[in-house]
Structure 1
Amino acid sequence: MRPRICVPIAAREPPEIPAMIEKAEAAGADLIEIRLDYLDLNPSEANKILGDLAGSSSVPLIATNREYSQGGLRPQDEESRVQVLIHAAEAGFSYVDVELGTGDLAALIDEVRSYGSKPIVSFHDFKGTPSLGEMERIVKSEVDAGAEVCKLVTAARRIEDNIRCLLLTRKMSRVTRIVCFAMGRKGLISRVLSPVFGGYFTFASLSEDSQTAPGQPTIEHLRSLYSDLGVYD
């Protein structure tokens, strides 16, 4: 299967986003993630802005309003943060990313689903890459929570950390849609190969100066690597 590539967009102002969506589509993005934590949206004004964004893309959009301890840009009032995600589902985003540690997670997932959006349940470990058993436990918790897509991202401290991510991806892709790789320069192997091992998609930035996580390749670089590896043959 051809690897899916998701391009994250982290603009500070809503008017910047449509042009960036157009560039991502032209570059070959299969999905586009809108990082809402970069926008400082007020829930009361979010509906129209998110509705306009949802209608501006020809590929599926992921709404992510990342919680600060999980890699978000800034601390947010939790109730407001969650409300913006609900507005994104209501506006027509294809996917909504919710953190595994979100309070009243089941209710949030039910509400996201009620609008036709698919919940991505995510967990990020910025300290390292846990044991294979612990990683499997985390993904099973995401499945039990009702994830349509499970996401587990770790930090690569050693090259060997990529192996655990790829082994987990291969195993869990048989039972769920999974996104799993390691961040950082040493995690590039798992970022590139995760979809080859059954991962639902991987991430690549529009440019080197628009990365939303350490070690994120550009979409141009990633597509070139896939071509060199014969993945597109």
Structure 2
Amino acid sequence: MICVSLPFVDEKTVGRLLDQKFLVEVRLDLAKDKSAFCKVVKKYKQIVVTYRGGDDIAVRAKFFEKAIDCGIAYVDLGITDSELKNILEEKLKNSPTRLILSYHNFDVTPAKEKLVDIYEKCRSEGADIVKIVTMSNGVADNAVIMSLYEFSQGDMIAFGMGNKGKITRIIAPFLGAPFTYACYSRGKKTAQGQIDYKSLKNMIATIEKYL
């Protein structure tokens, strides 16, 4: 499955993507206008709500709580968001919403052992899915990232950022990732190295023909 990451909140766009069987990530931290958020999460459920740091934790918690109350598919918290996780813990226990705990390294790909430790730590803290995203600076980094799936219980999404990490975004679903991420369009990227969802869909479909 492909998750289309949106840096804006728009009911029609979300609905159109869901009709095409995509998962949709709403990046509230990148959205200038959040006014349509409540309407979107009330109407649609196959959504990942992500709200990275920067704004007041109480403000972020309010949006996450609304999403969980509406029963959306996933909320995505950073591994350093322990206070926010504690606030949401009880709601998550009584909701169908699943928790993604994310680790990002925007500079390098750390050693495999460190990344495996992060994966295990996130699982022990109640993550339904562990997302590990690092900067790929070449083939060796891609090999480290892809090797992580050896330890996955079907609950890991791992890929590399940057142009050199693009291949890992394409391969991830074939190694066991529940989904991979794409941008809405080339001008609407939410991370380095993202591929637009139409192109990524075609690439994955081409590979599937030979499997």
Tell me the TM-score normalised to structure 1 length: 0.82
- Partner of residue 125 from structure 2, selected from 124, 145, 158: 145
CA contact 1:106–1:145 (8 Å) conserved in 2: no
Aligned pairs (5 A) from 1:123-142: 123-142=103-122
CA contact 2:61–2:87 (8 Å) conserved in 1: no
Say whether 1:19 aligns with 2:12. Answer: yes
2:17 partner letter: A
My pick for the range that moved more, 185-194 or 19-28, is: 19-28
- Partner of residue 43 from structure 2, selected from 40, 49, 56: 56
Give the match for residue 52 of structure 2: 66
Say whether 1:32 aligns with 2:31. Answer: no
Indicate the SS of the match to 1:194.
Answer: helix
For each residue in 1:14-70, what CA deviation from the matched residue of structure 2 results, as whole angstroms up to 9, or x when unmatched?
A: 4xx1121133235541x111111133678xxx8xx544112433x611111112xxx
Indicate the SS of the match to 2:82.
Answer: coil
Indicate the SS of the match to 1:38.
Answer: coil
- Partner of residue 178 from structure 2, selected from 200, 203, 209: 200
- In structure 2, relative to structure 1, the CA distance for the partners of 1:98 and 1:109 (3 Å cut) is farther
For each residue in 1:145-202, what CA deviation from the matched residue of structure 2 results, as whole angstroms up to 9, or x when unmatched?
A: 1001111110111222111111102x232x2411110011000111110110111110
For each residue in 1:78-104, what CA deviation from the matched residue of structure 2 results, as whole angstroms up to 9, or x when unmatched?
A: 232223212211122211111111133
Aligned pairs (5 A) from 1:101-140: 101-104=80-83, 105-140=85-120
The total of aligned residue pairs comes to 210
For 2:31 and 2:199, the matched residues in 1 are separated by: 27
For each residue in 1:105-136, what CA deviation from the matched residue of structure 2 results, as whole angstroms up to 9, or x when unmatched?
A: 34533322323311111111111111110000
Overall identity of the aligned pairs, in %:
25
For 1:21 and 1:228, the matched residues in 2 are separated by: 25
Give the match for residue 72 of structure 1: none
CA contact 1:96–1:112 (8 Å) conserved in 2: no
Structure 2 spans left out of the alignment, 5+ residues: none
CA contact 1:10–1:210 (8 Å) conserved in 2: yes
Say whether 1:8 aligns with 2:5. Answer: yes
For 2:177 and 2:58, the matched residues in 1 are separated by: 31
RMSD value over aligned CA atoms? 2.2
2:12 partner letter: A
Give the match for residue 77 of structure 2: 98
Structure 1 spans left out of the alignment, 5+ residues: 68-74
For 2:81 and 2:33, the matched residues in 1 are separated by: 19
CA contact 2:137–2:164 (8 Å) conserved in 1: yes
2:151 partner letter: M
Shift of 1:141: 1.0
1:95 partner letter: Y
CA contact 1:151–1:178 (8 Å) conserved in 2: yes
2:47 partner letter: L
